[in-house]
Amino acid sequence: MARPLRSVDSTYSLEICPRCEEGTLVTVERPYDVTVSDSVVRIPKVQAEECRRCGYRALSGREVRLFEVLFAPQYEQIADLVAALRAARYIGMFLREDQSESALAFGSRTYVATLADDLRELYLDNESSHVLDGLGCHPGAIPIDAAGRRYSLRLPKIGEGENGIVFDYEEDSGSVFKIAKPRPYSRDHLIKECEVTEFFARQGIPVPAIVDWDPYGAFVIKQRLSGRSLAVIYDELGPPDTERHRRVRETVRGFISRLIELFEKFPACKTSASPNNIFVVEEGQSCRCLLVDTGPAPLHDYSGFDFDEYWDVVVPQKIERYRAVGYI
């Protein structure tokens, strides 16, 4: 049987490092120890991601749904556990038969709260990867239950960055649904993005309002912005000396310099001025910019920022990389 098209494949093949936004992540397998009732249990193969450029390194709970089954509190007897493993379709250690489920969901946050910290992260990784995998197998609109509501996500995605994948959904054309990539770094990015949004709005930077968000950062529902990202429109702008190109370039120049001034005053709000994060709205002869992603980029150094180099060299390079990994 032919494999269904997976529109979110990029999430699992090539990834740009969410921390430095330069390196490519490689997946390695390594043993991982967890403590259960005072004894250490070694799990022989757990996936981890590494960036060899900046040294970012993190466990990835994508394939460890087993944890959820093994450590759920209700199994008093081995027989119950075995039954639960079978029900979860485990056919061997870490091998799970593929399931095609139509009802995808982010599970109860009350349950998530009961998990110990390291297990919680692995659980959340696995939950998001399960949802993203499920989305990849279906064309059209796919219902997802989240925070007690149903969202029918429309495929294909409308955008993707280092930390999340963004979808339209049927119930509200004025908002978008962003799912964090399955890693603690990306969920933390989404949480901070929500926390800092108000601040940018108060400073007069147009940003999408937060409609609802998961306290663990697994997803956020945001106002849908008009316009398109600089990464998407850059190649359409025509030669540098044309009116449209000049207008967009000068608008972006002004916008970024306002952002950098703000970052100097408030370093904690530093975000990435990548062409994926800057939206451009063109209406007739007028042009304005919006900041679509307020998430933190603490590693970015704007001290020697040179706009012309950004426009001529950095932006095209970033676009090339986004294309290579399937973000745009």
Residues that bind ligand ADP (CB under 6 A): 158-164, 166, 176, 178, 189, 208, 222-225, 229, 276-277, 292-293, 295
DSSP of 231-293: HHHGGGS-STTSHHHHHHHHHHHHHHHHHHHHHHH-GGG-B---TTTEEEEEETTEEEEEE--
Shortest CB 159 distance to Mg ion, Å: 8
Residue 35 · residue 168 · CB < 8 Å: no
3-state helix, strand, coil in the chain (%, to 5): 35, 30, 35
Between residues 186 and 276, which has the closer beta carbon with respect to Mg ion?
276
Query: Cβ closer to ligand ADP: 158 or 237?
Result: 158
Minimum CB distance to ligand ADP, residue 277 (Å): 5
Residue 324 Cβ vs ligand ADP, minimum distance, rounded to whole Å: 16
Beta carbons of 124 and 216 less than 8 angstroms apart? yes
Give the interface with Mg ion as residue ranges (CB under 5 A).
161, 276-277, 293
Residue 181 — φ and ψ, nearest 5°? -65, 150
Q: With CB cut-offs between 5 and 8 Å by kind, which of Mg ion, ligand ADP, Zn ion, none does residue 23 bind?
A: Zn ion
Residue 126 vs 197, nearer CB to Mg ion: 197
Q: Which among 190, 210, 186 has a CA at the least distance from the CA of 198?
A: 210
Interface ranges with Zn ion (CB under 5 A): 17, 19-20, 23, 51, 53-54, 56
Q: Considering the complex, what minimum distance in angstroms separates the CB of residue 102 from Zn ion?
A: 37
The answer to whether residues 105 and 146 touch, using CB atoms and an 8 Å cutoff, is yes
Per partner kind, with CB cut-offs from 5 to 8 A, the member of Mg ion, Zn ion, ligand ADP, none near residue 166 is ligand ADP
